[in-house]
Amino acid sequence: VGSRTCLEMKYLTLLVVLGLAVEILGSIDTSKCNKKVVGDPSFDFYRFIGYLYKLEAGTGTSDVKDYTSGNLAHMDIDDAWYSVLTVNGKDGTQVNYRYSIDEVYNQTIHETLLVDGRASDREYLVTFYGNKDRSYVLMYICGAKTNGGHDLRYVFSFANYKVTPTDWKRIALIDKLYNFSGNLVKLSTGVKVY
């Protein structure tokens, strides 16, 4: 109980202090965001990129429960960064979503969906609001909602890291701090994270 209270206080303090930092970043358009989400200060985007991540969970009203697996990778082409989300559906389909990473603001990135290799009008702010180095990350996607109108979030694990029950409890605690709409559910099963 003591460590949970300490963790709650840590994130509450971060919400207050770093909330001011989010306000200062005027070039980030947060008008489409349902929540003001503060990135985890221990997250370093440049340490994050360059590795393969496995999709573990997402917002329950998203299509995450229709996937059997998913991976997130990043690549550097001509000094520009791109991310590729590959998901495998229960129906045997595979879809690759490609994004250009347009700007990096510490724990928040601005990315644009690419269609046929060209930028589309679908832009997102991705905030990494929870993280355990080389283990997992929690991502809030601003600029998108689920079909049910809930806040879109994902949990990815690092390479072959096995998310433990203790990790899932911490993930649930961090997620609850923001009072997001919609529950996080595990990939494929649709079982609630908390």
Per-residue pLDDT of the chain (194 residues; tens, 9 = 90+): 555 565 555 444 444 433 333 433 445 566 667 788 999 999 999 899 989 999 999 998 777 888 999 999 999 999 899 999 999 999 999 999 999 999 998 899 999 999 999 999 888 999 999 999 999 999 999 876 666 678 889 999 998 999 999 999 999 999 999 999 888 999 988 788 87
Q: What is the pLDDT of residues 95-116, one digit of tens each?
A: 999 999 999 988 999 999 999 9
CB 101 within 8 A of CB 48: no
List the beta bridge partners of residue 182: none
pTM over 0.85: no
CB 53 within 8 A of CB 47: no
Task: Write a three-state SS string for 7-43.
Answer: HHHHHHHHHHHHHHHHHHCCCCCCCCCCCCCCCCCCC
What residue type is 140 in one-letter code?
A: Y
End-to-end Cα spacing for the chain: 17
Return all residues near 45 (Cβ < 8 A) that are at least 6 apart.
104, 106, 107, 109, 128
Q: Which CATH number fits domain 2-186: 2.40.128.20, 1.25.40.10, 3.30.460.10, 3.40.640.10?
A: 2.40.128.20
The angle formed by the CA atoms of residues 147, 65 and 118, to the nearest 5 degrees, is 60
Name residue, tokens 């509450």: 12
Domain ranges of the chain: 2-186
DSSP structure class, residue 181 = S
